[in-house]
Amino acid sequence: LPLVARVQQTWRSKLLDILVKAAAVTVTVEFYLIGLPILYWLGAHDGCQLLVGCLALTTWVLESPRDVEYGAPSMHLSLALVMQGTAAHLAACALTTRWGWEQHSPAAWALHAGLGALALAWAALIAWSRLYLGVHTPVDLALGAATGGSVLALWRCLGPCWLAWLKTAAPSQCAAYLLLHGLLLALYPRPKAHTSRSGNEQAIVLLQWLRL
């Protein structure tokens, strides 16, 4: 907590108050759903399905809520790493194809590196904003970074397999998948205030199944 207090005392200003609150909005279900048409327009059709699947499965992770509900790990930082990292990779792949570059050419590598660095900088801004707002401690952020990095690596390996399964799965298999997702949501500690996020994620999974 001394570090949180020092950040607030050193950097506090009305302009930064507005900027960090705006940064928090970029790690929400609504923001990601608004950004999907851009990726789809770039040609990342399967990638958009991967992204919404990742969003549905990772926005709820077992936490340690405090009095204000949010605790460890920092879900804002976890999501920033997972979603922005995935989106950067998909955008780089789509642009490489759109511009007619070879996937392993120097230009393609530079594009991947540039967008990856931008996603990492975005995540760093989110982490700093959480300290600035006083809603997370460095331990929360460290756990959030570890969680987000692990999920991102796992999703990069398993995401394409999940998408291939979803495209060919029988209705009974998809129904079981929805039930499993509901069970995972039920394991989340009961929040102190109502939230619509669980309904959002269930709708995302259902739309994935219906190919909408």
Domain ranges of the chain: 2-210
With 80 as the cut, is the pLDDT of residue 186 above it? Answer: no
- Structure confidence at residue 196 (pLDDT): 47
pLDDT in tens, 77-94: 887 888 788 888 888 888
pLDDT at 93: 84
Compute the distance between CA of residue 206 and CA of residue 174 in angstroms, rounded to an integer: 9
- Percent above pLDDT 70 for the chain: 62
Q: Which two tokens stand for residue 103?
A: 């996937």
Run of H or E including 47: helix 45-58
Q: What is the CA radius of gyration of the chain?
A: 18
Q: Is the pLDDT of residue 111 over 50?
A: yes
Q: What pLDDT sits at residue 110?
A: 92
Classify each residue of 82-106 as buried b or exposed e, where b means 16 or more C-beta atoms within 10 Å of its C-beta: bbbbbbbbbbbbbbbeeeebeeeee
Q: Is the pLDDT of residue 71 over 90?
A: no
Decide if pLDDT at 45 tops 90.
no
Question: Do residues 152 and 89 touch, judged by C-beta distance below 8 A?
Answer: no
C-alpha span between 103 and 164 (Å, rounded): 21
Residue 32 confidence (pLDDT) above 90: no
First to last CA, the chain: 45
**pLDDT for the residue 21:** 79
Determine the residue type at 89: H
Share the mean pLDDT of the chain: 73
